Amino acid sequence: MLSLERVSKVYRVGTFGGGQVRAVSELSFALAPGEVVALIGESGSGKSTVGRMVLNLLPVSTGSIRFDGIALSDLRQGDRKDYWRRVQGVFQDPFSAYNPIFKADRIFRTLRAEFFPRVETGDWNRRLDGALQAVGLNPQQVRDKFPHQLSGGQLQRLLIARALLLDVQLLVADEIISMLDASTRVDVLNLLADLKARGMAILFITHDLGLANYLSDRVIVLYRGCMVEAGPAEAVFENPQHPYTRMLVAATPRLDCKWPVSDWTPPVGEGEGLGCVYSARCPLCDGQCNRPPVPIETAAGHRVACWRVADPGH
């Protein structure tokens, strides 16, 4: 369905765009129907940039993104509308998706005008009520409300209902539950799991490893725009190989014990000019880390971009 082939994104910064920041570097992966792939990493790792490129909101600098074999760079204006009918995104802050002076269901009126202008009013209302009920909302309680009268969880569900009305095949979920309370998070996660069971593919962007483990089939760990580890979720979380992934797993909060106190402090700097982007923070860094690491497959589908992974004592 979706494939990224050596995709990079470079932003121009500074006075007159004289500088450059590489947000994503040589990223490749694929996403199949009914599959959930999680992009994990700290802030600034390039996760949201990948999501925006997949949504065709940002152009790639190099490489290609293909959906059903067609490169997004080849889509013309009319083709983009058809693409967005099949691929939609839901973002971190649900309130930012709504104009506060209009009622929340205005997004559905806009949707109807753009994609379903010939659908009769009665038929449209039945479709809309069915989509709202499918995401656990009572149409009579949400359709005539302003955004400030609804909770964050309700607003996120409205956006997911929009995707159902369009019969979306791929949903880009970018930190969609990070601003919700714990009980609402579970409801939204279960809704995503239901969409997955229906055959919808989901690109799940998050910095929360627990949520990714709950929902995803495969995991891609990013650091400064580079893939450092990728594989089946169970393999990555139960047997992390890259030092960065191990650090992330160790930093995941647990309810059964307190965190151990570490006396290791990461060095200052980000390893500019060195081969491995994580070298400045890695406690295992040695001379061979001056070369860009080549991803090594340690098990079926489990790849790690680290020279030390072949070292039994790493």
β-pairing, 87-90 vs 70-71, is unpaired
- What is the Cα gyration radius of the chain? 21
Q: What is the DSSP string of 151-191?
A: -HHHHHHHHHHHHHHTT-SEEEEESTTTTS-HHHHHHHHHH
Q: What is the pLDDT of residues 111-148, one digit of tens each?
A: 888 888 899 999 999 999 988 888 888 888 888 899 89
The pLDDT of residue 259:
59
Strands 170-174 and 218-223, bridge-based pairing = unpaired
Q: Which amino acid is at 306?
A: C
Q: What is the DSSP letter of 137?
A: -
Share of the chain above pLDDT 90, in %: 30
The CA-atom distances, in angstroms, between 47 and each of 39, 42, 222 are: 6, 9, 7
Q: Which residues contact 282 (CB under 8 A, 6 or more apart)?
A: 243, 244, 276, 289
Whether 209 has a pLDDT exceeding 90, the answer reads no
Q: 4-8, 23-27, 89-93, 175-179: which range is least confident on average?
A: 175-179
pLDDT higher than threshold 60 for residue 81? yes
For a pLDDT cut of 70, what percent of the chain falls above it?
Answer: 90
Location of structure tokens 């000019």:
273
**pTM of this structure:** 0.85
pLDDT at 312: 53
Angle 152-165/182-197 helices, nearest 10 degrees? Answer: 10
247 or 218: which carries more pLDDT confidence?
218
**Which has more confidence, 278 or 203?**
203
Domains and their CATH numbers in the chain = 2-310 (3.40.50.300)
Q: Determine the average pLDDT of the residues in 208-219.
A: 87
What is the predicted pLDDT for the residue at 269? 47
Q: Would you place residue 153 in the very low, low, confident or very high pLDDT band (cuts 50, 70, 90)? A: confident
Q: How confident is the model at residue 314 (pLDDT cuts 50, 70, 90)?
A: low
Give the model's confidence band at 247: pLDDT under 50 very low, under 70 low, under 90 confident, else very high: confident
Q: Please list the helix, strand and coil fractions of the chain in percent, rounded to the nearest 5, in that order.
A: 40, 25, 40
| Cβ 66 vs Cβ 29: under 8 Å | no
pLDDT of amino acid 13: 80
pLDDT mean across residues, the chain: 84
- Strand ranges in the chain using DSSP code E only, listed in sequence order: 2-13, 19-31, 36-40, 62-67, 70-71, 87-90, 170-174, 201-206, 218-223, 226-232, 296-299, 302-304
- Residue 105 · residue 144 · CB < 8 Å: yes
Q: Which of 93-97, 182-186, 228-232 has the lowest mean pLDDT?
A: 182-186
For residue 205, which of 164, 247, 176, 226 has the smallest C-alpha distance?
176
